[in-house]
Chain A
């Protein structure tokens, strides 16, 4: 577990350095993700080694959002003042984006004959 965790943190570190050093629009962890995919393509054994730890981290992905979510209480004044506008903006746009994205995917998949085999 420790070797895998160390490697994952090193990718995040490298991503952070690349993101800030090269002034990229992508935040460090996302650069780390991109670098990890590239490294696994070059060395497939790296993916086998990391897989057990990444699986257990991703199985608990929801947990990591809790502290930021509790931040709602720090923003209650703004949220209550603009509650209706923000609630509608968040909810309606999310419904539209999920619907439009899924229907676009199925339409283009049908047009191009892309199937998942």
Chain B
């Protein structure tokens, strides 16, 4: 019989183990989320990240090794972004009817997100590289990475800040919008999509179909707008 340590050293260097672990951790996160009655605090991404982070830390596995397996899941971000075109197409007539509120909320939400994040970051003495990594945090991960690279940030740190923004936005959106007495599902979804990209959009789809569609629109439009305004706003802080 082969030594268990040998089997471990083989498996831990192969994609199979960490791909399986990623799906299993998400399954567990999703199960907790459902068991909690779909409460936003039980965010499945957050639970999966905590589980996997603990497993990697305990087993002494590097993120690079983990990513060898997890990259197959990570890859799906690209095709999933393309897929967002379909709800956008299906809702084109509704977007046209809401063209003015959509344009105004996009501009306000996008500028507030970048400007307030950089102002707070600067107040706490973050350096230019950190600010550049922080600027695109409200856009979807593949877009944020591209923007951060272009304006002198650190791409992987940008991806982490994007994730934290998305998880925080998904958790805070429902109680915040209830407190503000916003009842229009279009407004609720759109604002969350602009501020908290794909994770916010995934959360919006769980709550309401209309909110999800408008969140997808907000995310797509903000990906375009942030690519343009992030360098301009960052220029104010340099």
Interface residues of A (CB under 8 A from B): 5, 8-9, 11-12, 15, 25-30, 32-37, 40-41, 47, 50-51, 53-54, 57-59, 61-75, 78-79, 82, 84-86, 88-106, 108-109, 112, 114-117
Tell yes or no: B132 within 8 A of A by CB.
no
Enumerate chain B residues within 8 angstroms of A92, measured Cβ to Cβ. 116, 120
Across the interface, name the chain A residue whose C-beta is closest to B33.
A62
Chain B 103-155 interface residues, beta-carbon cutoff 8 Å to A: 104-106, 108-110, 112-114, 116-118, 120-121, 123-126, 130, 134, 137-138, 141-143, 145-146
Task: List 29 interface pairs A-B (beta carbons < 8 Å), by A numbering.
Answer: A27-B143, A27-B146, A29-B82, A32-B82, A33-B82, A54-B87, A62-B45, A62-B198, A63-B45, A63-B76, A64-B198, A65-B198, A66-B45, A66-B73, A67-B71, A68-B160, A70-B49, A71-B156, A84-B124, A86-B130, A86-B161, A93-B137, A95-B172, A97-B195, A98-B173, A104-B104, A105-B190, A109-B98, A115-B97
> At the interface, yes or no: B3 with Cβ under 8 Å from chain A?
no
B-side contacts of A25, CB under 8 Å:
224, 227-228
Are A68 and B74 touching (Cβ within 8 A)?
yes
**A14, B83: Cα distance in complex, Å:** 14
Which residues from B are CB-within-8-Å of A33? 81-82, 84-85, 88, 220
Contacts of A100 in B (CB 8 A): 108-109, 112, 191
Closest A residue to B120 using CB positions? A89
Cβ contact of B45, chosen from A34, A50, A69, A115, cutoff 8 A: A69
Taking the nearest CB of chain B, how far is it from the CB of A18, in angstroms?
Answer: 13
Say yes or no: B199 contacts A65, CB within 8 Å: yes
CA distance A23 to B202 in the complex (A): 30
For residue B32, CB closer than 8 A to chain A, the reply is no
- Contact residues in B for A27 (Cβ distance below 8 Å): 142-143, 145-146, 223
CA distance A30 to B79 in the complex (A): 10
Chain A residue with Cβ nearest B121: A89
Known: A36-B82, A74-B63. A97 touches B100 (CB 8 A): no
> Across the interface, do A58 and B56 meet the contact criterion of CB distance under 8 Å?
no
* Chain B interface helix/strand/loop/mixed: helix
Q: Is the Cβ of A106 less than 8 Å from the Cβ of B182? A: yes
Q: Write the nearest CB–CB distance from A19 to chain B, whole angstroms.
A: 9
* Closest A residue by C-beta to B52: A70
**What residues of chain B lie closer than 8 Å to A36, measured between beta carbons?**
82, 85-86, 89
**Distance (whole angstroms) from the CB of A63 to the closest CB of chain B:** 5
Are B26 and A63 in touch, CB under 8 angstroms? yes
Instruction: Report how far A103 CA is from B173 CA in the complex, Å.
Output: 13
- Residue from A64, A98, A106 with most neighbouring chain B CB atoms (10 Å): A98
Chain A residues near B176 (CB, 8 Å)?
95, 98-99
B177 near A: Cβ within 8 Å? Answer: yes
| Residue on B nearest A29 in the bound complex, by CB | B81
CB-CB under 8 A from B57, the residues of chain A are: 73
Find out whether the CB atom of A75 lies under 8 angstroms from the CB atom of B157: yes
Chain B 3-32 against A: per-residue CB contact (8 Å), 1 yes, 0 no?
000000000000000000011011000000
